[in-house]
Amino acid sequence: MAVRAVIFDLDGVLVSTDEFHYRAWQRLADEEGIAFDRRANRRLRGVGRMESLEIMLERAPRPYAPEEKAALAERKNRYYRESLEALAPGDVLPGVREVLRALKARGVKVAVASSSRNAPEILRRTGLADVADATADGNDITHSKPDPEVFLVAAARLGLAPAECLVVEDAASGVEAAAAAGMRSLAIGAAAGHPQADRSADDLASITVDEMLGT
């Protein structure tokens, strides 16, 4: 079945806010006296906020009650949102705008699917809000990747079957979510070479739309 839509993950695919996330988690960990570094941060890629918090708390010197965890997650998000004020259209990753224009020219629909609840703000600040035919984000779902929910919501909003969609992901959990959704995937960056991906590339600047679509 031909690809009629490409569903893009947001962070690490269209825009990189990895450093913003890392600094927010690091600040929170420092305030709580929890050991945290870039190696630990790599485990948080493609993982939802509460799941990420649980990973960070594995090295906590004391247990945290559920209400404390909720407060920690909100504090981290506040730090992260403060950092997003510096985000601008120039932070869109190389090759992204060219790929989006080429897909539009071919009549291929575009969606953005992210587990982040901050996705609408990121899209607005980077000038990508009007590019997508549909979006799905952390505000629309109850299960984070590798659960396929966010991709299935995006496909439903596009009015297409999962088999008609190609997912572009940079996290293993996202590639696994695409497979669980019954969608093909292009794995880029850290996810390149994932055994469940249909295609791989370093980034969107290093692959043509023909290669992406398999045409």
| Cβ–Cβ < 8 Å for 87, 15 | yes
Which CA distances in Å does 148 have to 162, 171, 174, 176, 193? 10, 13, 8, 8, 20
Q: Cα(82)–Cα(24) distance, rounded to whole angstroms?
A: 9
Complete edge-to-edge strand list for the sheet that includes strand 199-201: 134-136, 109-113, 5-8, 165-169, 184-188, 199-201
Q: Is 130 a catalytic residue?
A: no
Q: Cα(27)–Cα(76) distance, rounded to whole angstroms?
A: 8
User: What does the DSSP assignment read for 95-162?
Assistant: THHHHHHHHHHTT-EEEEE-S-TTHHHHHHHHT-TTT-SEEE-TTS-SS-TTSSHHHHHHHHHHT--G
Q: Is 9 a catalytic residue?
A: yes
What tokens appear for 198 in the block?
């249909």
Q: What are phi and psi of 137, to 5 degrees?
A: -145, -170
- If one counts every other C-beta atom within 10 angstroms of the C-beta of residue 101, the result is 12
Residue found under tokens 């695919």: 13
- For the annotated catalytic residues, the residue numbers are 9, 11
